Amino acid sequence: MSTSMSQARFVPCGADTWRDPYGMYASLQDTDPLHHVEDGDYWVLSRFADVSHALRTPEVYSSRQGLTFTYGDMEAIGLDEAAPMVMLDPPEHTDFRRLITKGFTPRRVESIEPEVRRFVRARLDRIAAAGGEVDIVAELFKPLPSFVVAHYLGVDEADRARFDEWTDGIVAANASGDPLGAGEAVSGLFDYFTALIERRRAAPADDTISDLIQIMGDDMVAMIRILGFAFTMVAGGNDTTTGLLGGAAELLTAHPDQRRLLVDEPDRIPRAVEEFLRLASPVQALARTLTEDLSLHGRSVPAGRKVLLLYGAANRDPREYGADAARLDVTRSGHQHAAFGFGPHHCLGAAAARLQGRVVLEELLSRFPEFSVDAARGTFAGGSFVRRYGTLPFTPGPDAGPREDGA
């Protein structure tokens, strides 16, 4: 039985309600594709075509007023005067993005693969040594992206432990909807990067902070922008990759035939990562603000209203992906997905996320081809925008043991 428009209702997810938001998404797509949420006075787009169009039209769907469905959030967190790159619109966004693209070229991303692979192998060694069930989020899926972000930002090895603590605090506060709620962590991170910027001015290194200093100069605006970029990488580059890895592990456990295909033919893994990105959609939603009146699906929305773009719904829209849109198919090809967005705000860290997904799956399936995760006992992190496991019980399976190379 179809759901009537009056019954279709969007409720922001968080914690355990992330377990299965897909029935809600389907109801919105089928019956109310431009949905009004009265409590908060914002609108919701759920179909792939609409979300894709909005992402490619920043002149209408602006990032300038923040990416949540809360009005005035930029001013509340003190970012209205020095917005990070993700909260800029072209041409200002285009100019700033051009400055930092150097650090995220495919060649530079590929250069960190050996370090990522060593990190993953060391963590899998720890899991094998444990000899039983572990929390794969705590052991691998959470520490890895923190390691990669620290590498990009030039955090010294001796400072990684403190950086991880700050990262944990900021990611948790960001998930709760209060990105500056982790006051001590934010203060510690800003103090650290203020000092790091001064050190890199005197002695540049091969990291993104050094690149930005060279390009942007040393005035106060440049300092604020560099600090904002560092904060954005910490807040946005960690939990999203954790969400991808947890979602992939869940899907592979639920679909052993698809897992066996990747075990037998590991060359399929890069393509499979795209399917995991589509179905897991770590970033489930972000908002934009209308710069002009909108007429769509027989409804009208005035300029100045926020519109929430449901990436997680768009990536499972049967209008785009066919009747089997909700099914895992690691050989699927020919379709784009919205996991990294489209247009000028396409995720700058996409190549790094893909690298981590590929390396983890290559090593995990090689080492523990019969692994399983207990999704029913897993718990989800809070927050209304990123779907990720906070804990996920993992069993290595019967083949767990030292690698043949002894490394």
Could you count the other beta carbons within 10 Å of the beta carbon of residue 393? 18
Pairing of strands 42-45, 306-310: parallel
Asked whether 33 and 46 are in contact (CB, 8 A), the reply is yes
Of the ranges 197-201, 254-258, 318-322, which one carries the lowest mean pLDDT score? Answer: 197-201
The whole-chain average pLDDT of the chain stands at: 86
Cis ω on the peptide bond leading into residue 91 (within 30° of 0)? yes
**What confidence tier does 116 reach under pLDDT thresholds 50, 70, 90?**
very high
Check pLDDT > 50 for residue 364: yes
Reply yes or no on whether the pLDDT at 167 is more than 90.
no
The CB density around residue 380, as the number of other CB atoms within 10 Å, is 22
Separation between Cα atoms, residue 77 and residue 231, nearest integer Å? 13
How do the residues of the chain divide into helix, strand and coil, expressed in percent and rounded to 5?
A: 55, 10, 35
Please give the helix or strand (H or E) that residue 51 lies within, else none: helix 48-55
Distance CA 267, CA 176 (A): 38
Question: Which residues lie closer than 8 Å to 390 by C-beta, 6 or more apart?
Answer: 137, 378, 379, 380, 381
- Tokens describing residue 302: 């005035």
The secondary structure of residue 292, as a DSSP letter, is S
* Stretch 2-15: mean pLDDT: 73
For residue 385, what are the contacts with CB-CB under 8 A and spacing of at least 6?
A: 67, 68, 283, 284, 285, 286
**This model's pTM is above 0.85:** yes
pLDDT in tens, 365-397: 999 999 999 999 999 998 889 999 999 999 999
273 compared with 99, residue with greater pLDDT: 273
The mean-pLDDT minimum among 31-45, 201-215, 269-283 falls in 201-215
Ordered DSSP codes for 307-370 = EEEEHHHHTT-HHHH-TTTTS--TT--S---STT-SGGGS-TTHHHHHHHHHHHHHHHHHH-TT
Helices and strands, number each (H, E), in the chain: 18, 12
Alpha helices in 56-132 (DSSP H): 73-76, 92-100, 106-111, 113-130
